[in-house]
Amino acid sequence: MRPPKVAEALLGRFLPLHERDEILGDMAERYARTAAREGRLRARLWYWRQGLAIPLHMLRRRSLPIEFQDLRFALRTLRRSPGFTAVAILTLALGIGANTAIFSIVNGVMLRPLPYPEPERLVRVWEHNDSFGRLQAAWPNFVDWRAQNESFEVITAYSGWTDTVLGGAEPLRAGISPVSAGFFRVLRTEPTVGRSFSDAEHAEGADPVVLVSHSFWQDQLGGTAEIGDAELFVAGFPVTVVGVLPAGFDFPAGTDVWYPAELQKQGDSRTAHNWRIVGRLAEGVLPEQAQEDLSLITARFEADGEAIEYLAQRAQVIPLREAISGPVQGPLMLLLGASFMVILVGCTNLASTLLARGSARSGELAVLRALGAQKSRIVRRLFTESLLLATFGATAGLLLAAALIRALPALLPSDIPRMAEIGLHAPVAIAVVVVSVGAALLFGLLPAWRIASGDLGAPLRDGGRTVSVVGNRGPWRLLVIAEVALALILLTGAGLLMRSLFRAANVDPGFSADGVVAMSVALPAHEYGEVHQRVAYYDELLQNVRRIPGVARAGLTLRPPLRGWPTNGRISIDGGPEPHVSAAYQVADPDYFETLGIPLVRGRFLDSSDTADSAHVVVINEALADLAWPGEDPIGKRLTGGGMDSYWEDPDAWAIVVGVAGDIRQRDLTTETYPAMYFSYRQRADRASSAWVVVRGERIEAVDLIPQMRAAIRDLDSDVPVQFLTMEEAVSSSLGDRRFLAEVLGSFAAMGLLLAALGIYGVVAYTVSLRTREMGIRMALGSAPAHVLRMVLRESMVTVVIGLLLGLAGAAVASRLLSSLLYEISPYDPVALAATALTLLTVAAVASFIPARRAATIDPLITMRAD
């Protein structure tokens, strides 16, 4: 029976090397005996208790600056002032907890090396051109790079999307990724079960094979080692599973099935930017050198008769780690900065509290010195106290951090990369703890030193009441100013983000999401390869869904709003001029618009007269109407959409505009409406191998109809995977990142505010207590209590206002960094600034008022009598 691992490791760490084996061995032996006699739980408890007691004994023996007696004394002192102790520990715990959690995220997402061998040699490669910036690569370009480069050990292309996979435990939509030859050599990853792809399998016409993720293997294939027989239908094609990748392997993120990209014939367009490129640099080659190398090759690319503006001009090579974390770097750095400010406020707070305490105890310490205590002894005693506080604070902080980190997957937006690698790692925890505990000790020791070396007579002569060792109030005011300024910066940032979230949440999306459920259906290609089969399926499905009691309306679309960029491409209009307009390509049915409450602006929606045999028609949105036919009536005009579907392979296949629909937000709530065209699925089901049915209920929430809808799908064809989404969810997840940032920054700001309030209260209360006698005299000489109250308040508020002004200046600088995250709010938004300043002012006023009132109620007789 092995002793608890953590306790043993901890104990081992504290024991001197020459005694470690002996003691750990003895402990193991006794643990086994205790466990046999009293059960495992008691034995564990025993081990922890004993294990921690041994190093304590050892410490006592050596002359560390802690003595047992001091420790007991410190404990007693802290217990005597529970308010102070709680505030100090809480301050440290919040600071350490929040910082460790945020820094752990930064560490996991941005800093830790990728979980592949020699990760520093991994890079992402993009095409780059002046008009469009960074672009994915076209296949022939990739092929040239691969053939001609001198910088890479291996360079490969991959892609990824979601598609239907049948043949597992249930039909489902899974992440599919085609990868070119050498992909797993780039990442140096081998299947744990089965084998990887052979070179012969990376070829057109080879037997189709796939590798699957560990979780897919477990959940869908039963996790057996006999994978040779597993047959799947991926996107409608029968494939054989040849191997299982290691647990935790997740590249590209979210992939469950990998297959050789070369199975399919790749196009020869040099401007079809469809492939992502990842490579392993040759030994000793830097990313910049590889970029130079690939750019030279890129310069030789020629596009025959293709849109030259889409052609790459050079290559961009970026370390894979940066490429993965790139999109979240800004927000993460923001959070890191904010959490750092919280800990700054916390430390300032701790400093002022410890200093105040130190001063207040000058009398007690002077007595100790007068009785012959050595200076070093007094310092040591105070040091022990700070150390104890710091230890408690750090422990609580780490526990908080651990809890936060465990809760992170639920808290973080789901698209944070490398989420699985976020954890409480020792270096992070140690760094944060060292900084905060260091600060606590420093601030604890500073007053100790000053007091211990101060004039020991003075406090005694003055009755130990009126003396501050830190004679003037300058340092206190500085600390309060710093706290207020930092808190204001935090509050302003949070205020701006919240206002911006509020703005975004109140954007009119152009449709009504309330009570609408969207259900995605994906038709397996082997059963629905023909367009007429799809049309028939959708016809019947819509009919069946509309027949469900409680369904008011049901419509069809390629992709519901707020689910990312819709498919789009360049369009041409009849009679020119070339409008240089890109438009989103949508397929819908007549009821789609009314189900979502999209208004009709002109003409008509699609209707049942639009059939496969009638003239092809299109409904466009207002944005497209304004761009393509500014100032004209678009009804009756004609357009075509290049290569967006097969109907347009005939360049004269015009579609006639029959209606204009209202604009809606497509990608997300805060992205402007994109020009869009809606075709009828009966006329153009070419791209509709999967689609969404949107449903609105009548006198019943559509959500409650999900079981019936599921049944309708199953009854029609049980091989069609289905997934549900309420449009309200779509709206709220479209705000997810914004909400997350606003919430986290908001809670940091709340912490900052709370800490600042405590700090102000502490300092004012302390200064008031120092001046009790002065107040008493003032009142004895006729000062009204109200006057004393005003005086104390005024002094404290002057300090607060100075802090506010400084904070406003700081906020102006800090908020500029926020501007890219703000939506329709200026970083200098007067409402946000005024509101935060006012909040802080109010809180500061309350925090000063309480001790000020105490000053005003001083009984002059009592104060005087004390002398």
Residues that bind other proteins (CB under 8 A): 2-3, 19, 21-30, 32, 50, 53-58, 60-61
Name the residue nearer to other proteins (CB basis): 23 or 505.
Answer: 23
- Per the CB < 8 A criterion, the answer to whether 252 and 177 are in contact is yes
CA 340 – CA 345 distance, rounded (Å): 9
Nearer to other proteins, 22 or 859 (CB): 22
To the nearest whole angstrom, how small is the minimum distance from the Cβ of residue 44 to other proteins?
15
Find the shortest distance in angstroms from Cβ 9 to other proteins.
12
The set of residues, in sequence order, having a beta carbon less than 8 Å from that of 103 and lying 6+ positions away, is 336, 339, 428, 431, 432
User: In angstroms, rounded to a whole number, what is the distance separating the alpha carbons of residues 290 and 766?
Assistant: 64
Considering only CA atoms, which of 802, 754, 811 is closest in space to residue 489?
A: 811
Residue 528's nearest CA partner among 539, 544, 543, 517 is: 539
736-770 vs 320-360: helix crossing angle, rounded to 10: 20
Indicate the Cα dihedral angle 660, 662, 663, 669, nearest 10°: -160
Distance CA 155, CA 181 (A): 9
Q: What residue has token string 């408890």?
A: 45
Q: Which is nearer to other proteins, 32 or 841 (CB)?
A: 32
Nearer of residues 56 and 831 to other proteins, judged by Cβ: 56
Q: Is 572 left (phi over 0), alpha (psi -120 to 50) or beta?
A: beta
Nearer to other proteins, 5 or 76 (CB): 5
Nearer to other proteins, 23 or 805 (CB): 23
Contact 548, 702 (CB under 8 A): no
Query: Nearest distance from residue 760's CB to other proteins, in Å?
Result: 45
Task: Considering the complex, state which of residue 57 and residue 300 has its C-beta at the smaller distance from other proteins.
Answer: 57
Residue with tokens 């081992």: 12
Q: What secondary structure letter does DSSP report for 526?
A: T
Question: What's the CA gap between 577 and 370, in Å, rounded?
Answer: 98
Considering beta carbons, is residue 59 or 318 the nearer one to other proteins?
59
Q: Which of 148, 852, 746 is nearest to 492 (CA)?
A: 746
* Closest alpha carbon to 278 in 113, 110, 119, 108: 119
- Least distance between other proteins and beta carbon 2 (Å): 7
Nearer to other proteins (CB atom), residue 43 or residue 814? 43
Smallest distance, Å, CB 27 to other proteins?
7
811 sits in which H/E element: helix 785-818
Q: Which residue, 50 or 274, has its beta carbon nearer to other proteins?
A: 50
SS3 700: coil
Min dist. Cβ of residue 386 to other proteins (A): 25
Which tokens hold the place of 170?
A: 């249930």
Please say which residue, 24 or 181, places its beta carbon nearer to other proteins: 24
Instruction: Output the smallest distance, CB 738 to other proteins, in A.
Output: 53
CB of 84 to other proteins, least distance (A): 32
**How many Å apart are CA 571 and CA 641, to the nearest integer?**
4
Which one, of 197, 202, 194, 158, lies nearest residue 177 by Cα?
Answer: 158
Give 281's strand partners.
Answer: 152
Continuous H helices in 203-257: 214-220
Distances (CA, A) of 94 to 341, 348, 676: 12, 14, 49
3-state secondary structure of 8: helix
Which letter does DSSP use for residue 108 in this model?
A: I
The amino acid at 736: G
- DSSP for 111-158 reads ISPPSSSSGGGEEEEEEEETTTEEEPBPHHHHHHHHHH-SSEEEEEEE
In whole angstroms, the minimum distance from the beta carbon of 322 to other proteins comes to 44
What's the min distance (Å) between Cβ of 242 and other proteins? 42
Nearer to other proteins among residue 66 and residue 814 (C-beta): 66
Q: How far is the CB of 40 from other proteins (least distance, A)?
A: 16
- Nearer Cβ to other proteins (50/772): 50
In the complex with other proteins, the residue whose CB is nearer, 27 or 101, is: 27
Least Å distance between CB 6 and other proteins? 15
Nearest one of 667, 684, 687 to 676, comparing CA atoms: 667
Residues 6+ apart with CB under 8 A from 737: 331, 413, 415
3 state SS of 829? coil
Tokens of 491: 């509050």
Query: CA 302 → CA 140, 222, 269, 306, 314, distances in Å?
Result: 11, 50, 10, 9, 12
Given the complex with other proteins, which of 56 and 299 has the nearer CB atom? 56
Cβ-based nearer residue to other proteins, 47 or 217: 47
CB of 389 vs other proteins, minimal distance in Å: 25
Question: Where is 653: in which H helix or E strand?
Answer: none
At its nearest, how many Å lie between other proteins and the CB of residue 8? 8
Q: Token pair for residue 483? A: 């706290």
b (16+ CB within 10 A) / e for 542-565: bebbbebeebebbbbbbbbbbbee
Rounded to a whole number of angstroms, the minimum distance from the CB of residue 60 to other proteins is 7
Closest listed residue to residue 760, CA positions, set 807, 785, 791, 793? 793
Taking the complex as a whole, the smallest distance from the CB of residue 32 to other proteins amounts, in Å, to 7
Nearer to other proteins, 22 or 268 (CB): 22
Amino acid at 539: D
Provide, rounded to whole angstroms, the least separation between the CB of residue 377 and other proteins: 23
